[in-house]
Amino acid sequence: MDLTELENIVTKEAADRKPCEIRCCIAAGCLSANSNDVLSTLRTAVEDSGMADRVNVVGVGCMRLCSQGPLVGVDIDGPLYCRVTTDNASSIVATLNGGQGEAETFEREDPFFAKQTSLILKNCGCIDPERIESYIATGGYRALHQALFELAPSDVIETVTRSGLRGRGGAGYPTGVKWATVAKNSGERRFVVCNADEGDPGAFMNRSVLESDPHRVLEGMAIAGFAIGANQGYIYVRGEYTLAIERLNKAIKQAGRMGLLGTGVFSSPFDFRIDVRIGAGAFVCGEETALMASIMGQRGTPTPRPPYPAEHGLWGMPTLLNNVETFANVPDIIRNGAEWFAEIGTPQSTGTKVFCLTGNVVHNGLVEVPLGTPLRTIVEEIGGGVPNGGQIKAVQTGGPSGGCIPQEHLDSPVDYESLGKIGSIMGSGGMIVMDDQTDMVDVARYFMEFCMDESCGKCIPCRAGTVQMKQLLSRIVDGSANRADLERLEKLCDMVSRTSLCGLGQTAPNPTVSTLRYFRDEYESRLIDSTTAKANSNGATCQ
């Protein structure tokens, strides 16, 4: 494969394009709502209507408005049909001949789409994720070619550093610094690892990118491999993401066949192989040391850091570990330059971030906005606020490691520092909207129970501490706790976060701590002594 052949593919794709394209989402959300059958119905309808020569029906990745699926779009700017069924699918085809579409449509001008900025999700819902040609037609693999033939590895690292890209796994560590550290550490081999073990409740950003645009991630990983001097990459995907795994494997094979991965990438001396490793669905395996243990065939439990993976990673070798979204940003940064990327977002948090907007919000789905966008814009304008005119009480960001942001902080910009200041984190991008009927103590208990179930059990504070905290939270919810229990809970939160071995335990108390910070009255009003006091003040007899 060389640049000319790459260009030929682009030209052929353009020549083969039919005047009209009907796109049907075949990502996991819509598939679960029967979109595969909708896709075949559309294909049959096009055949039957005799328009096969000018209409193409294509299965595409996520079109973002996940709660309204199955989604069908006519061309990129044409109508977007929601909740399409096999019964009304053919009417969409009929509209091309002047008929009436029976499925409800969603306005493209709605703030849900209009207020978003697409970098990572640019191809999602537009290209066929199962055809490499479809990705190449959008300019795919050009950045890899550019890195290999026009830049030195140090130039690539410098570009990533200057772009200001920060780790999208949640911690926000500067990506360029991480790449440079791995490149500088000595070892016989180096490895690139993509963390796709997304396990936060309410989060599906990585899954959507992998299902909708897998080559973007592969290209980003290959560029990283070239930059740090690695010949082997692993994508660690959780086993529940069967469709993502299937499409990744297909994409790796396609890229290998075209000489874009494997031995002699673009016929250069650079070899880069990528293998998929499937996790068994343990939340802790998203933690980097546990993830690496799992890749090496060991029990997925964390080990203390330092040493960090950049120095002592897979098989003791320097290892670069980044999240799906981090790698997905890389091709565009190389192609468009560091300055282009740095201008998006805020000076400290550049670029965009994909969020999964879920919970009590009108539009559930994938949202991509520049970092620094006010939380209110995301939940009220893009998300459409609470259904039926309800009030937002809080927004939970960052999953079980994150916190609840109360209504009064909705104007805070969403970036790494601002969220930290109000007691939450970016996390990988889960965003759960809660209305004024939500019981915040119960929310804290839910997340604590999640951490308790997912604790690997290696360290005592996390293993036994989460059990005790969950029991205390349950007692508060049930109204059988007293003030001493609340104090005990707060002490445990402090102790577990300070003494646990890995991020799971260290952050498990966060939802409790943040709800205590903003909704303390909900805790205190349920304590036995406060109800007794209230009863006494009402003149009731104390038993």
Partner 1 sequence: MSVVTLTINDQLVSASSGETILQAARSVGIDIPTLCYVEGLTAHGGCRMCLVEVEGARQLQPACFLNVNEGMTIRTETDQLREYRKMIVELLLAEGNHTCSICVANNNCELQDAAVEMGVDHERLEYTYPQREVDVSHERFGVDHNRCILCTRCVRVCDELEGAHTWDISGRGANLKMITDMNQPWGESPTCTSCGKCFMACPTGAIFQKGSTASELDHNRAKLDFLINARENQLWEL
φ and ψ of 82, to 5 deg: -110, 160
Assess 185 for contact with partner 1 (CB under 8 A).
no
| Stretch binding partner 1 (CB under 8 A), from 118-126, 244-252, 300-308, 396-404 | 300-308
Among 454, 507, 512, 518, which residue sits at the site for partner 1 (rule: CB under 8 A)? Answer: 454
Residue 257 identity: R
For the CB of residue 156, give the shortest distance to partner 1 in the complex, in Å.
30
Among 17, 253, 498, 520, which residue sits at the site for partner 1 (rule: CB under 8 A)? Answer: 498
| Stretch binding partner 1 (CB under 8 A), from 55-63, 349-357, 496-504, 519-527 | 496-504
**What are the C-alpha distances in Å from 58 to residues 35, 61, 72, 131, 326?**
12, 10, 10, 11, 28
Sort strands 191-196 and 319-323 into parallel, antiparallel or unpaired.
parallel
| Stretch binding partner 1 (CB under 8 A), from 131-139, 238-246, 409-417, 456-464 | 456-464
For the CB of residue 521, give the shortest distance to partner 1 in the complex, in Å.
25
Six token digits for residue 182? 């791995």
CB 190 within 8 A of CB 317: yes
CA dihedral 358, 102, 127, 321 (to 10 degrees): 10
For the CB of residue 93, give the shortest distance to partner 1 in the complex, in Å.
51
Nearer to partner 1, 88 or 466 (CB): 466
CB 423 within 8 A of CB 517: yes
Binding mask 458-477 for partner 1 (x = CB under 8 A): xxxx-xxxxxx--x------
Assess 455 for contact with partner 1 (CB under 8 A).
yes
CA dihedral 281, 287, 292, 298 (to 10 degrees): -50
Assess 282 for contact with partner 1 (CB under 8 A).
yes
Among 499, 528, 530, 532, which residue sits at the site for partner 1 (rule: CB under 8 A)? Answer: 499
Assess 299 for contact with partner 1 (CB under 8 A).
yes
**Number of H helices and number of E strands within the chain?**
24, 14
Location of structure tokens 């969403």: 414
For the CB of residue 457, give the shortest distance to partner 1 in the complex, in Å.
4
Six token digits for residue 160? 């990533």
Binding mask 506-525 for partner 1 (x = CB under 8 A): x-------------------
Nearer to partner 1, 38 or 419 (CB): 419
Could you tell me where the DSSP H helices lie in 107-232?
A: 111-114, 132-136, 142-150, 153-163, 175-184, 205-212, 214-228
User: Residues in the chain, how many?
Assistant: 543
Nearer to partner 1, 24 or 456 (CB): 456
Assess 452 for contact with partner 1 (CB under 8 A).
yes
**What are the C-alpha distances in Å from 539 to residues 185, 259, 533, 542?**
73, 83, 10, 9
Assess 491 for contact with partner 1 (CB under 8 A).
yes
**What are the C-alpha distances in Å from 110 to residues 22, 39, 113, 382, 389?**
21, 25, 6, 8, 18
For the CB of residue 184, give the shortest distance to partner 1 in the complex, in Å.
18
Assess 142 for contact with partner 1 (CB under 8 A).
no
Assess 303 for contact with partner 1 (CB under 8 A).
yes
Location of structure tokens 């205390």: 472
Nearer to partner 1, 80 or 451 (CB): 451
DSSP-based three-state secondary structure for 72: strand
Assess 304 for contact with partner 1 (CB under 8 A).
yes
Q: Kindly list the residues in this chain that would bind partner 1 in the complex (CB under 8 A).
A: 282, 284, 299, 303-304, 306, 452-461, 463-468, 471, 488, 491-492, 495, 498-501, 506
